[in-house]
Chain A
């Protein structure tokens, strides 16, 4: 069974540009989560998508956005990139939809570098 896959593995952008990151969940999982793992800051919750809808978002500005497609894959968009957006972006999926989230299955992440 394929795990959570993310692309690209690495992405280099300059300030002001836009970045798009993609995630495919484990087959059968309908919930997708995005986390930012910046150096020295741990994992910060960004977004939760379930059944195509944004269900919850963390304390990030609106230039962080995304969507979930009918096949449950997801895209994270970061507009007007700033230097501090440089981080590892982790996608996770789970079977549990709503309520108290159970086990998360993580991808290996997309490393975004903003120059």
Chain B
């Protein structure tokens, strides 16, 4: 149980385009989902926290207009990188916390974004 999927696993796009990444909890309801960014050989940095039906809370330094997050249902959150640039190339990971749970986050397999 507690499986989280992400789609796509890899995406390559041209500079200036927008890319949407989906995060789904497959076998549980997630009231809260989290989006992280991981640079090569580095740790995970939290970008934002999204709660179902409300606006996401962004970490300091993360541009909310550039990284649009939508959490429209208890099993789906999306991250849209708008007007992507090469410096947005990274590994993006989502996680989900089970409804009714207060501690453990379950992680998706990640999405590698390459902006040319």
Task: Please say whether chains A and B are actual partners in one complex.
Answer: no
Chain A interface (Cβ < 8 Å from any Cβ of B): none
Chain B interface (Cβ < 8 Å from any Cβ of A): none
